Amino acid sequence: MSRRNKLFKFAEILTYPNVFENPDFHNPHLLGLNGEPVEMKGKWDEAFFKNGNPIILELACGRGEYSFALGKSFPNKNFIGVDIKGARIYQGATKVLDAALTNVAFLRTKIELIDHFFEAGEISEIWITFPDPFLRDSKANKRLTSQRFLKLYKHILKPDGLIHLKTDDPKLYDFTLEVLNEDSTIEVLYNDDDIYSKPLPEEALEIKTYYEIKHLAIGRTIKYVKFKFKQ
């Protein structure tokens, strides 16, 4: 993608009412429509969604395909796609606006900063869909199911809030199960290393992204883990 095209998308999403940005990762604050400062922590339901429906995060949402599809499939739930790449978010946010979906928003920030933008117990579920597996062992703490991130999720989730991981990477899948099984505060509710070989346990798993379809076409299996923190 050319620099000029990226700059266009960065400028364009400033005019999008469904995108919130944290432009300076050293200073966790948000800008909303037309670059105006906004305070959303603890206020997403009243300030954006205008209802009390459950709020679900999709972390590392990329182009927002999953967030968009979730919003269409579950109109009585609210969804926020989180990613660091504004040019990617632009694509999902544009589709959401074109479809007139009012239950999907996007947040551009580092995932390690999410506790700055969500109040304790504000989130009902978290989806982690095909994140970067960070295959080198030296980068294990960057994996979105490492203890570093699990502590953040626990803070913002409601009691009994669910976390879902969907991945095609066997190393990330095995790593996740190892981390979860070593943590006595976590209960693994379901795991499968080939979800499409049997009836799906979650309706949302029927959604397939562009790259997931490509992975399936070359014979890769899709893995899934669902877990929660014990109360």
130-180 pLDDT, tens digit each:
999 998 989 999 999 999 999 999 999 999 999 999 999 999 999 999 999
* Alpha-carbon span 108 to 61, nearest angstrom: 10
Q: Sheet containing 55-59: which strands, arranged edge to edge?
A: 37-38, 30-31, 19-21, 104-108, 78-83, 55-59, 123-129, 157-167, 223-229, 186-192
Alpha helices, DSSP H only, in the chain? 3-13, 44, 65-73, 86-98, 147-156, 170-181, 210-217
pLDDT band at 13 (very low <50, low <70, confident <90, very high): confident
* Alpha-carbon span 154 to 160, nearest angstrom: 10
pTM of the model: 0.95
What are the Cα distances from residue 190, in Å, to 9, 32, 34, 57?
39, 37, 43, 19
Which CATH superfamily is 3-22+31-229 part of?
Vaccinia Virus protein VP39 (3.40.50.150)
CB atoms within 10 A of CB 195: 19
* Alpha-carbon span 29 to 9, nearest angstrom: 21
Q: Which residue carries 């190892």 as its tokens?
A: 178
Tens digit of each residue's pLDDT (9 = 90 or more) over 189-206: 999 999 999 999 999 999
Of residues 132, 160, 174, 194, which has the active-site annotation?
A: 132
* Alpha-carbon span 218 to 187, nearest angstrom: 33
Residue 132 annotated as catalytic: yes
Structure confidence at residue 14 (pLDDT): 83
Q: Which residues contact 16 (CB under 8 A, 6 or more apart)?
A: 33, 93, 94, 97
